[in-house]
C-alpha cells in the first residue's frame, strides 16, 4: 500500500519543494493552513502515514495543530515532522512537548529532510510492530486458546476485581459443568471432546452480555459472573435457557447424553471474594449433579425457582447464532423464547408453546436463493401465523424482502441486526397482541 504524506505549510514554494522531494515514494496531500490541514486529516482519517508541519502560519499555527492532534484518537499515532524557519530553542522544546517526532529548520537541506522523515517513519513502524506483538502476547496470555474465552487465571482476576469495585451491586456467579463429558473422550476420542467444548463455549458466550465475565476454568468447566443483576429472575431464565437448549440440542452436533449442570451463587450486594463466591457456586453445582444433572441449583435455596412457563412465547427460527444472540439480548422479560435452529425443529415445538406464541422471528437471511423454499416450509405448518412474523433478511438483498412481503409477514429486519431496531419492532409487535 502506498504511503501517504500530508504537507501543511502556508508557503506554496515550500510545499512544491517538499512535493518534488517525496513524490516518488509517497502519495502527497497538501494544505495551506492549519485549518485546512485539520480538515484533510479528518476526511482522510486512518489513511495519513506522516505529517510535515510548518509552525508559523496565520490562523491556526502548527502549535495549535499539535494541540488538536493530542485530542483526536485518529491522529495520536500519526508521526509529525516539524519543518519551520524558527530556530528558537523554546519553539523546539514546545513542539516536542506537544508530541512532534522530529524538528527540521528552514532553509532545509533536501537530503536531511528525506533522511529525517524516513527515520521517523521507520522508527514509528518498528514501534507499532513491537506494540502489536506485545498486544498479541497479552491477549494470548489472557485467553483460553481452544475456546477464545478468558482462561482460569484471567477469569479469577477479572471477577475478583469486579467484586471489589462493585460492592453495592448484585453480582451472580455461574459454575457450568458439562455432564458425561468423560464418555465423549472415552468413546469418540479427544478431537470429538474438543469439538463439544468449543460448541458449548460458543453457546454459553452468546447467552450472556458483553459486560459479563465468561471464562473456561477447567477441561469441561466454565465460570460466568453476571454483573449488576437487577433481578434474580433474569439469572434463573439464563440458567434454564442453557439447560433446555442442551437438553434438546436443536442443531447442535454433540452427543445426546451431553447436558449441562449449573451451580449459582450471588453476592447479595455484599462484599465477598472470588474464593468465597466460587465455593458457594461449587456447592450448588454439587447439588445439581446429585439431583440427576441437566439442572441448576442455587446456593442457600432449598426449593428450586422454576421459570414461569405460562409467559407468552416468542418463536425464534434461525440458524445464525449472532441473530439469536441479538434477539435474546433485546426481548423483554415478560416473554420467553423458544428456539428452532433448523426448520426440522419446528416439529419439536410443544402444543403448549404453540398456543402461547405471541410473535415469531423467521430468519431467511442465510437462505439466499432458497428463500421461497424457506417460506413454503413455514406455510406447511398451519399453526404458524404470518401476521405474527418479523422476517430477518440479508441487508440489501431485495429479492428476500420481496418474497417475505409476498408471504404476508408483519415486518422486516435487516441482518446484521441493529439491537435498537430489534427492540423497537419487537415492542411494537407485542403491543399489538396486548402484552
Residue-wise pLDDT for 378-413, tens only, equals 999 999 999 999 999 999 889 899 999 999 999 999
Side-by-side strand order, sheet with 296-298: 213-216, 221-226, 172-179, 259-266, 296-298
Q: Where does 143-213 have alpha helices with state H? A: 152-165, 181-188, 190-206
Q: 33-76: per-residue pLDDT in tens?
A: 999 999 999 888 878 899 999 998 999 999 999 998 888 888 88
CA distance 243 to 152: 23
One DSSP character per residue, 225-275 reads EE-S-S-HHHHHHHHHHHHHHHHH-TT--S-TT-EEEEEEEE-TTS---HH
Task: Give 8's strand partners.
Answer: 31, 53
The confidence score (pLDDT) of residue 304 equals: 47
Residue bearing the bigger pLDDT, 262 or 134: 262
Orientation of helix 190-206 relative to helix 181-188, angle to 10°: 140
Q: Among 56-60, 132-136, 253-257, 423-427, which is the least confidently predicted range?
A: 132-136
Q: Which residue, among 327, 383, 382, has the nearest Cα to 357 in the 3D structure?
A: 383
Give the helix/strand (H/E) hosting 72.
Answer: none
Q: Residue 131: is its pLDDT beyond 80?
A: no
Burial 230-263 (b: 16+ CB within 10 A, else e): eeeeebbbbbbbbbbbbeebeebebbeebbbbbb
> What percent of the chain has pLDDT above 70?
93
Least confident of 33-42, 52-61, 111-120, 213-222: 111-120
Check residue 215 and give its pLDDT: 92
In the chain, ranges of CATH 3.30.70.270 domains: 152-298
- pLDDT for the residue numbered 376: 92
Q: What is the DSSP letter of 45?
A: T
Q: Is 127 helix (H, G, I), strand (E, B) or coil?
A: helix
How far, in Å, CA of 112 to CA of 210, rounded? 51
What are the strands, taking DSSP E only, across 347-430?
A: 357-363, 389-394, 411-415
Peptide bond into 117 cis (omega under 30): no
Q: What is the pLDDT of residue 296?
A: 92
Residue 315 has pLDDT above 70, yes or no: yes
Query: Counting beta carbons within 10 angstroms of the beta carbon of residue 57, is it exposed (0 to 12), middle (13 to 18) or buried (19 or more)?
Result: buried
Q: Which residues pair with 82 in a beta bridge?
A: 53, 103
Mean predicted lDDT score pLDDT of the chain: 85
Domain 3-140 has CATH 3.40.50.2300: yes
Return the exposure string of 279-293: e unless at least 16 CB atoms fall within 10 Å of the residue's CB, then b: ebbbebbebbeeeeb
In this prediction, residue 134 carries a pLDDT of: 61
* pLDDT at 132 > cutoff 50: yes
Q: What is the CATH number of domain 313-431?
A: 3.40.50.2300
Start-end of CATH 3.40.50.2300 domains in the chain: 3-140, 313-431
Angle formed by the axes of helices 62-71 and 89-97, nearest 10°: 20
CA distances for 274 relative to 170, 177, 266, 425, 435, angstroms: 14, 18, 11, 40, 40
pLDDT at 305 (0 to 100): 47
The predicted pLDDT at position 361 comes to: 94
CA distances from residue 276 to 158, 211, 216, 259 in whole angstroms, order as listed: 15, 22, 19, 26
Nearest to 49 by CA among 101, 113, 108: 101
Q: Which of 15, 50, 17 is nearest to 30 (CA)?
A: 15
Query: If you average pLDDT over residues 156-184, what whole number do you get?
Result: 87
Task: Tell me the C-alpha distance between 385 and 18, whole Å.
Answer: 70
Does residue 299 surpass a pLDDT of 60?
yes
pLDDT at 234 over 70: yes
Q: Is the pLDDT of residue 128 over 80?
A: no
CB-CB neighbours of 335 under 10 Å: 18
Q: How many CA atoms lie within 13 A of 384 on its CB side?
A: 25
Can you give the pLDDT at residue 136? Answer: 63
Q: What gap in Å lies between CA 110 and CA 216, rounded to an integer?
A: 58
Average pLDDT, integer, range 345-355 = 81
pLDDT of residue 189: 82
The pLDDT confidence band at residue 214, using thresholds 50, 70 and 90, is very high
In the prediction, which pLDDT does 271 show?
81
The hierarchical CATH code for the domain 152-298 is 3.30.70.270
pLDDT over threshold 60, residue 306: no
Give residue 279's pLDDT.
95
Is a pLDDT exceeding 50 seen at residue 13?
yes
H-assigned helices in 249-342: 274-290, 321-330
pLDDT at 200 (0 to 100): 92
More confident position, 369 or 242: 242
The pLDDT-based confidence of 354 (bands split at 50, 70, 90) is: confident
Amino acid at each position: 500500500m502506498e504511503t501517504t504524506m500530508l504537507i501543511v505549510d502556508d508557503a506554496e514554494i515550500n510545499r512544491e519543494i517538499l512535493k518534488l522531494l517525496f513524490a516518488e515514494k509517497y502519495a502527497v496531500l497538501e494544505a495551506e493552513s492549519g485549518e485546512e490541514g485539520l480538515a484533510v486529516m479528518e476526511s482522510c482519517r486512518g489513511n495519513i502515514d506522516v505529517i510535515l508541519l510548518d509552525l508559523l502560519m496565520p490562523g491556526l499555527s502548527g502549535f495549535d495543530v499539535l494541540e488538536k492532534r493530542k485530542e483526536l484518537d485518529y491522529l495520536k499515532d500519526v508521526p509529525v515532522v516539524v519543518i519551520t524557519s524558527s530556530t528558537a530553542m523554546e519553539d523546539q522544546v514546545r513542539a516536542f512537548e506537544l508530541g512532534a517526532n522530529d524538528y527540521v529548520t528552514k532553509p532545509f537541506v533536501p537530503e536531511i529532510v528525506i533522511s529525517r522523515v524516513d527515520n521517523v517513519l521507520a522508527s514509528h513502524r518498528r514501534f507499532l510492530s513491537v506494540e502489536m506483538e506485545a498486544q498479541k502476547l497479552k491477549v494470548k496470555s489472557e485467553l483460553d486458546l481452544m475456546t477464545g474465552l478468558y482462561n482460569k487465571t484471567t477469569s479469577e482476576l477479572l471477577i475478583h476485581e469486579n467484586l471489589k469495585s462493585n460492592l453495592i451491586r448484585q453480582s451472580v456467579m455461574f459454575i457450568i459443568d458439562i455432564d458425561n463429558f468423560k464418555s465423549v473422550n472415552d468413546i469418540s476420542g479427544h478431537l470429538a471432546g474438543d469439538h463439544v467444548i468449543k460448541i458449548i463455549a460458543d453457546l454459553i458466550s452468546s447467552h450472556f452480555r458483553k459486560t459479563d465475565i465468561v471464562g473456561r476454568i477447567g477441561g469441561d468447566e466454565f465460570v460466568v459472573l453476571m454483573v449488576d443483576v437487577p433481578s434474580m429472575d433474569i439469572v434463573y431464565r439464563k440458567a434454564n435457557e442453557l439447560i433446555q437448549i442442551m437438553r434438546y440440542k436443536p442443531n447442535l452436533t454433540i452427543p445426546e447424553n451431553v447436558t449441562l449442570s449449573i451451580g449459582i451463587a450471588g453476592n447479595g450486594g455484599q462484599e465477598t471474594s472470588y474464593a468465597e463466591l466460587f465455593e458457594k457456586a461449587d456447592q450448588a453445582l454439587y447439588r445439581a449433579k446429585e439431583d440427576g444433572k441437566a439442572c441448576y441449583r442455587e446456593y442457600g435455596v432449598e426449593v428450586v425457582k422454576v421459570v414461569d412457563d405460562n409467559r407468552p412465547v416468542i418463536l425464534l427460527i434461525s440458524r445464525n447464532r449472532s441473530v439469536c444472540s441479538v434477539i435474546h439480548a433485546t426481548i423483554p422479560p415478560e416473554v420467553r423464547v423458544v428456539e428452532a435452529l433448523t426448520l426440522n425443529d419446528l416439529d419439536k415445538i410443544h402444543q403448549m408453546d404453540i398456543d402461547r406464541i405471541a410473535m415469531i422471528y423467521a430468519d431467511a437471511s442465510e437462505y439466499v436463493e432458497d428463500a421461497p423454499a424457506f417460506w413454503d416450509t413455514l406455510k406447511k405448518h398451519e399453526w404458524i401465523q404470518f401476521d405474527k412474523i418479523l422476517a430477518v433478511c440479508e441487508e440489501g438483498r431485495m429479492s428476500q424482502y420481496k418474497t417475505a412481503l409476498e408471504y404476508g409477514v408483519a415486518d422486516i429486519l435487516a441482518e446484521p441486526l441493529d439491537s435498537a431496531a430489534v427492540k423497537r419492532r419487537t415492542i411494537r409487535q407485542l403491543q399489538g397482541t396486548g402484552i
